[in-house]
């Protein structure tokens, strides 16, 4: 498929992300795949920033192929953003403030090359209006699931249909092509309809119809129903004559940076454990727990008697506390007294960060307690690791419903009325996943999905075909304009 004429004229594309590492990493990996398949494509990635570029992104950008460039927009000062706003709101406001700079950057690119299209993150979709002014084709690259995209496209209608807070809505909410979902499991930005967060998300959802098409980080076998519903919605509602549809082009996951130390301490520790015996515990690049919940999780892991490898962060009252400003405190000081000594033989605790793909890919890792960020969920599927679903913020509750009720590849602990998962419940769910009968069934299902994910990315697989079709469709529009 990719034996294209090497003399083909270069096709220039711009891409814009948001100042959140998980989104930046995802769009960079997508661009790498795009230029690998369409050799004559050239992409310029544009990154809005808060204060300064993210160090993890700078590391990632060191390994770009020659046909991907990048530029950072002038930073937005964090002091100019509302201090008490959730990080998702701060990020979106920073992107809005960056739009004049983005317009200049796009104009500058157009003065030096014949740019044909813009690919935008859904939370930077004000850029679609600027693309329209410049007469560019525009697409959304959607890092979360197809279920979440279906929900976003359905939100303006849902907003009219439901008058109360979604969490108080008695019936399950039906999203086209998706497993029914309780209102409390809709994304956190939906949970207070009078908030700025909800107003921003509703605006962005209404603006999605400006896009000529959608590139979704998922694959057909994992979200067949959502894919069909999205195609139907797109045909019925598109305002664009150049509409080119919905492409499931994933799973796009980080393959692990070449800068990661291969023999890190935790990997050495894993070498000495039995196959499938270790539960990996991590809440992603932004997730944090309260002090009370850290205590309960520690005691729960200890009580389970199972082996664990835990990435610990300093506590925060905000579930996404590590997103915009990580704590400089040593996280290990917040663990219960004596915990490290008591679990010395059975547990390995790391402060703040771990080489996730190396750990999930290790033969000793048999489970993953995850915050259900879509990047992490996909990594777990790609590497065939059963999950404990512990959503914290953003659309993670929605992902948890897909993983537990739709795909049935995860167990989900119950939380008490104060929003805390207690130690006995944690121990029960951990044992259920690692050594229980239900855990065995989950392992069988996720291994089938692992194989389907690998097939989707093969030369004639569904995702490779979709990405190929996207490129040729886009060029046919350009050719006819």
pLDDT band at residue 317 using 50, 70 and 90 as cut-offs = confident
In degrees and rounded to multiples of 5, residue 239 shows phi and psi of: -95, 5
φ, ψ for residue 421 (rounded to 5)?
A: -85, 125
Top-ranked range on mean pLDDT: pick from 277-281, 315-319, 349-353: 277-281
Q: What angle do CA 349, 351, 355 make, to 5 degrees?
A: 85
* Catalytic residue list contains 121: yes
Who's near 339: CB < 8 A, 6+ residues apart?
298, 299, 302
Rounded to an integer, the average pLDDT of 300-306 is 98
At a CB cut-off of 8 Å and minimum separation 6, what does 100 contact? none
Residue 329 known to be catalytic: no
What pLDDT band is residue 6 in, cutting at 50, 70 and 90?
A: very low
Q: What is the pLDDT of residues 117-174, one digit of tens each?
A: 999 999 999 999 999 999 999 999 999 999 999 999 999 999 999 999 999 999 999 9
**pTM attached to this predicted model:** 0.95
Task: Tell me which DSSP letter residue 404 carries.
Answer: I
Query: Quick check: helix, strand or coil at residue 367?
Result: strand
- Candidates 88, 106, 130; CA nearest to 320 is 88
* pLDDT at 8 > cutoff 90: no
How high is the pLDDT of residue 2?
46
Same fold, 11-250+458-480 and 265-454: yes
Using the predicted structure, report yes or no on whether residue 3 has a pLDDT greater than 60. no
pLDDT digits (tens, 9 = 90+) for 329-360: 899 999 999 999 999 999 999 998 999 999 99
The pLDDT, as a whole number, for residue 401 is 98
Instruction: Identify whether the C-beta of residue 141 lies closer than 8 Å to the C-beta of residue 15.
Output: yes
Q: Which of 23, 154, 362, 371 is catalytic?
A: 23
pLDDT at position 209 is 92
If you average pLDDT over every residue of the chain, what do you get?
93
pLDDT tier at 4, thresholds 50, 70, 90: very low
- Domain locations along the chain: 11-250+458-480, 265-454
Question: 38, 101, 121, 371: which is the annotated catalytic residue?
Answer: 121
Residue 261 binned pLDDT confidence (cut-offs 50, 70, 90): low
* Strands 137-142 and 213-216, sheet pairing: parallel
**Superfamily classification of domain 11-250+458-480:** Glycogen Phosphorylase B; (3.40.50.2000)
Predicted pLDDT at 476:
86
At 437 the three-state DSSP class reads helix
Q: Which CATH superfamily is domain 265-454 in?
A: Glycogen Phosphorylase B; (3.40.50.2000)
Residue 223, H or E segment: none
Find out whether 99 and 127 touch, Cβ atoms under 8 Å. Answer: yes
Long-range pairs for 54-59: beta carbons < 8 A, 24 or more residues apart: 54/19, 54/21, 54/24, 56/21, 56/25, 56/285, 57/21, 57/24, 57/25, 57/28, 59/257, 59/259
Answer whether 20's CB lies under 8 Å from 286's CB. Answer: yes
């Amino acid at each position: 498929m990719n034996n294209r004429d090497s003399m083909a004229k270069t096709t220039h594309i711009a891409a814009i992300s948001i100042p959140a590492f998980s989104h930046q990493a995802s769009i960079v990996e997508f661009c790498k795949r795009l230029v690998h398949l369409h050799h004559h494509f050239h992409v310029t990635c544009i990154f809005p920033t808060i204060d300064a570029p993210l160090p993890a992104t700078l590391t990632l950008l060191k390994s770009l192929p020659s046909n991907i460039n990048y530029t950072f927009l002038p930073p937005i000062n964090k002091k100019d953003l509302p201090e008490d706003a959730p990080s998702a709101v701060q990020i979106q406001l920073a992107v809005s403030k960056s739009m004049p700079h983005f317009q200049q950057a796009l104009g500058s690119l157009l003065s030096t090359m014949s740019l044909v299209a813009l690919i935008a993150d859904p939370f930077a979709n004000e850029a679609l209006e600027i693309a329209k002014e410049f007469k560019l084709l525009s697409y959304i690259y959607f890092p979360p699931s197809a279920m979440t995209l279906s929900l976003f496209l359905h939100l303006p209608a849902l907003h009219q249909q439901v008058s109360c807070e979604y969490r108080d809505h008695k019936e399950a909410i039906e999203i086209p092509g998706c497993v029914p979902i309780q209102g409390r499991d809709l994304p956190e930005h939906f949970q207070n309809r009078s908030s700025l967060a909800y107003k921003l998300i509703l605006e962005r959802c209404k603006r999605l119809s400006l896009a000529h098409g959608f590139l979704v980080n998922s694959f057909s076998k994992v979200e067949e129903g959502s894919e069909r519903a999205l195609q139907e919605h797109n045909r019925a509602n598109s305002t664009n004559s150049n509409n080119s549809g919905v492409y499931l082009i994933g799973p796009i996951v980080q393959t692990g940076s070449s800068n990661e130390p291969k023999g890190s301490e935790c990997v050495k520790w894993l070498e000495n454990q039995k196959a499938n015996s270790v539960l990996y515990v991590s809440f992603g690049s932004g997730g944090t727990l309260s002090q009370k919940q850290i205590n309960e999780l520690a005691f729960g892991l200890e009580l389970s008697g199972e082996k664990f490898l835990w990435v610990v962060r300093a506590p925060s009252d905000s579930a996404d506390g590590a997103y915009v400003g990580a704590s400089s405190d040593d996280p290990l000081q917040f663990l219960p007294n004596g915990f490290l000594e008591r679990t010395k033989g059975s547990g390995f605790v790391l402060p703040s960060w771990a080489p996730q793909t190396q750990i999930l890919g290790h033969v000793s890792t048999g489970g993953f307690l995850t915050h259900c960020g879509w990047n992490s969920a996909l990594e777990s599927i790609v590497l065939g690791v059963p999950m404990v679903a512990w959503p914290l913020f953003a659309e993670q509750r929605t992902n948890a419903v897909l993983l537990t009720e739709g795909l049935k590849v995860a167990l989900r602990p119950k939380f008490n009325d104060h929003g805390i998962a207690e130690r006995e419940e944690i121990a029960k769910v951990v044992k259920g996943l690692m050594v229980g009968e239900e855990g065995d069934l989950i392992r069988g299902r996720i291994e089938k999905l692992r194989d389907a994910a690998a097939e989707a990315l093969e030369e004639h697989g569904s995702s490779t075909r979709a990405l190929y079709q996207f490129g040729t469709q886009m060029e046919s529009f350009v050719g006819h304009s």
